[in-house]
Amino acid sequence: MGKRFIIYCILLVLGMGGSSYAQERVFVSTDKNSYIVGEDIWISLYCTTGDTKEYSQESSVAYLEFHSAQGVEHTLKLALIEGRGCGRLQIPFNFATGNYSIVAYTRKNGGKSKDKFNGKTISVFNTITDEKVKGGTRVVKKPEYENKGIQTQASESPVRFKIDVKGGSETGGNIDINVRSLYMSGTHANFNISLYHLDEIEKYAERQGIGQVPLTARTGTLSPTGVTEYAGEIIRVKVTPSEEANMNMNGKFLYMSAKGNEDDLYVGALDSLGYVTYYTNNMSGDKELLFEVVDDVTMTSRTSSRAGSISRYNVNIVEDNHIHTPDSIPVLQIFPQLKDALEERNIRMQISRRFEADSLFNLMEMRSASYLGGATHTIYNLDDYTRFPTMEDVVREYVTHLRIRKMNGVTSLRVVNDDVKEFVWVAKSPALALLDGVPVRDHEILVNLNPLLVKQIIVYPRQFILNHFVFDGVVKFNTYKGDMGGIKIEDMYEIIPHKGVQYPLAFLTDGIMDNVRYPNYNSTLYWNPIVKLDNGETFRFTVARPKYSGEFKIRIEGIDGEGKSIFHEETITL
Claim to verify: residue 187 and residue 68 sit in the same structural domain: yes
- Span of 324-338, 411-425, 521-535 with lowest mean pLDDT: 411-425
Claim to verify: residue 209 and residue 64 sit in the same structural domain: yes
pLDDT in tens, 47-97: 999 777 889 999 999 999 999 999 999 999 999 999 999 999 999 999 999
Radius of gyration of the chain (CA): 27
Considering its fold, how many domains does the chain have in total? Answer: 2
Claim to verify: residue 468 and residue 540 sit in the same structural domain: no
Note the pLDDT of residue 489.
83
The answer to whether residues 98 and 69 touch, using CB atoms and an 8 Å cutoff, is: yes
Note the pLDDT of residue 61.
97
Domain boundary (419, 452, 485) is at 485
Intra-chain end-to-end CA distance of the chain, in Å: 48
Q: Is the pLDDT of residue 451 over 50?
A: yes
Q: Is the pLDDT of residue 374 over 90?
A: no
User: Could you give the 3-state DSSP secondary structure of residue 61?
Assistant: strand
User: Could you give the 3-state DSSP secondary structure of residue 8?
Assistant: helix
Bigger pLDDT: 34 or 534? 34
Q: Is the pLDDT of residue 2 over 60?
A: no
The answer to whether residues 375 and 460 touch, using CB atoms and an 8 Å cutoff, is: yes
Note the pLDDT of residue 187.
67
DSSP 101: E
pLDDT above 90 coverage of the chain, percent: 62
The answer to whether residues 437 and 448 touch, using CB atoms and an 8 Å cutoff, is: no
Claim to verify: residue 457 and residue 529 sit in the same structural domain: no
CA atoms of 219 and 547, how far apart (whole Å): 38
pLDDT in tens, 434-450: 999 999 988 999 999 99
Q: Is 236 within a domain?
A: no
pLDDT in tens, 113-171: 999 999 999 999 999 999 999 999 999 998 876 545 555 677 888 888 999 998 755 55
Note the pLDDT of residue 306.
46
Note the pLDDT of residue 5.
45
Claim to verify: residue 426 and residue 517 sit in the same structural domain: no
CA atoms of 300 and 411, how far apart (whole Å): 11
- 445, 447, 439: which is closest to 464 by C-alpha? 439
Bigger pLDDT: 147 or 475? 475
pLDDT-based confidence at residue 304 (cuts at 50, 70, 90): very low
Note the pLDDT of residue 408.
85
Mean pLDDT across 228-240: 94
Q: What DSSP element (H or E) covers 1?
A: none
- Span of 2-16, 129-143, 374-388 with lowest mean pLDDT: 2-16
Claim to verify: residue 99 and residue 191 sit in the same structural domain: yes
Q: Is 509 within a domain?
A: yes
Note the pLDDT of residue 27.
96
CA atoms of 91 and 523, how far apart (whole Å): 14
The answer to whether residues 133 and 96 touch, using CB atoms and an 8 Å cutoff, is: yes
CATH number of the domain within which 437 lies:
2.170.130.10
Q: Is 280 within a domain?
A: no
Q: Is 254 within a domain?
A: no
- pTM attached to this predicted model: 0.90
Note the pLDDT of residue 414.
92
Note the pLDDT of residue 53.
80
Bigger pLDDT: 297 or 479? 479
Bigger pLDDT: 343 or 182? 343
Q: Is 402 within a domain?
A: yes
CA-CA distances (angstroms) from residue 419 to 373, 374, 426? Answer: 19, 17, 11
What is the rounded (10 degree) CA torsion for 137, 140, 142, 145? -30
CA atoms of 287 and 496, how far apart (whole Å): 8
Domain that residue 447 falls in: 378-485
Claim to verify: residue 96 and residue 65 sit in the same structural domain: yes
- What secondary structure, in 3-state letters, does 252-307 show? CEEEEEECCCCCCEEEEECCCCCEEEEECCCCECEEEEEEEEECCCCCCCCCHHHC
CA atoms of 526 and 173, how far apart (whole Å): 16
81 - beta bridge partners? 84
Neighbour order of strands in the sheet with 189-197? 524-533, 189-197, 551-560, 565-573
pLDDT-based confidence at residue 15 (cuts at 50, 70, 90): very low
Claim to verify: residue 480 and residue 530 sit in the same structural domain: no
Mean pLDDT across 28-35: 97
Claim to verify: residue 116 and residue 218 sit in the same structural domain: yes
pLDDT-based confidence at residue 515 (cuts at 50, 70, 90): confident
Note the pLDDT of residue 248.
76
* Mean pLDDT, rounded, of the chain: 87
Claim to verify: residue 529 and residue 410 sit in the same structural domain: no
Claim to verify: residue 96 and residue 118 sit in the same structural domain: yes
Q: Is 19 within a domain?
A: yes
Claim to verify: residue 361 and residue 411 sit in the same structural domain: no
Q: Is 198 within a domain?
A: yes
The answer to whether residues 102 and 66 touch, using CB atoms and an 8 Å cutoff, is: yes
Please state whether beta strands 265-269 and 253-258 pair in parallel, antiparallel, or not at all (unpaired). antiparallel
Bigger pLDDT: 246 or 200? 200
Q: Is 272 within a domain?
A: no
